[in-house]
């Protein structure tokens, strides 16, 4: 039986003989012999950043793993209704593509726009990064807050 992983990764080849539900399985060249040349030359699409979004009584919190991204390469912009996180993770230099056995990490630009479940105070947004974890705190807009206005006599 051939696993879905084997079919997706191409570690084996299925040669089309579908007689009596039997398939001829041919093991191809091992991953060590596979060539990675050309991967670095293909223009990659922008990646999408994985996030966790949750709320407390006072704020909406967004967390994302941004390990390997310098703060100079990371931007967070916020409005009352949404937050956009953009960044770039630079690939390590000095490693020839033929020396890789596996190359699964994402390198390049990424972004994520999150529509918020409620309005926030965009001017009071705070963003911190610790050990590769970006945490964005968005204070909820308090629509029930009543401000008493003093009336000036002219």
44-139 adopts what CATH topology?
A: Immunoglobulin-like (2.60.40)
d(C-alpha 151, C-alpha 154), whole Å: 10
Contact 140, 78 (CB under 8 A): no
Residue labelled with tokens 């709320």: 55
Report pLDDT for 31. 47
For the chain, residues classed under CATH 2.60.40.790 are 44-139
Per-residue pLDDT tens digits for 59-111: 999 999 998 898 888 999 999 999 999 999 888 888 888 898 988 888 889 99
pLDDT at 12 over 70: no
Overall residue count recorded for the chain in this entry? 154
Structure tokens at 93: 């230099």
**Cross-strand pairs, 120:** 140
Report the pLDDT value the prediction gives residue 26, as an integer from 0 to 100. Answer: 46
Question: pLDDT grade, residue 126 (50/70/90)?
Answer: very high
């Amino acid at each position: 039986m051939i696993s879905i992983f084997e079919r997706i990764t191409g570690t084996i080849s299925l040669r089309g003989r579908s007689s009596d539900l039997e398939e001829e399985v041919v093991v191809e060249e091992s991953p060590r012999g596979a060539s990675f040349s050309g991967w670095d030359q293909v223009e990659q699409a922008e990646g999408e950043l994985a996030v966790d979004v949750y709320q407390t009584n006072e704020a909406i919190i967004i967390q994302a793993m941004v390990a390997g991204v310098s703060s100079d390469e990371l931007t967070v912009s916020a409005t009352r209704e949404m937050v956009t996180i953009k960044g770039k993770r630079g690939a390590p230099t000095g490693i020839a593509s033929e020396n890789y056995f596996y190359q699964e990490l994402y390198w390049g630009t990424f972004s994520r726009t999150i529509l918020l479940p409620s309005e926030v105070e965009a001017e009071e947004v705070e963003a911190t990064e610790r050990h590769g974890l970006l945490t964005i705190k968005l204070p909820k807009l308090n629509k029930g807050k009543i401000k008493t206005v003093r009336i000036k006599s002219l």
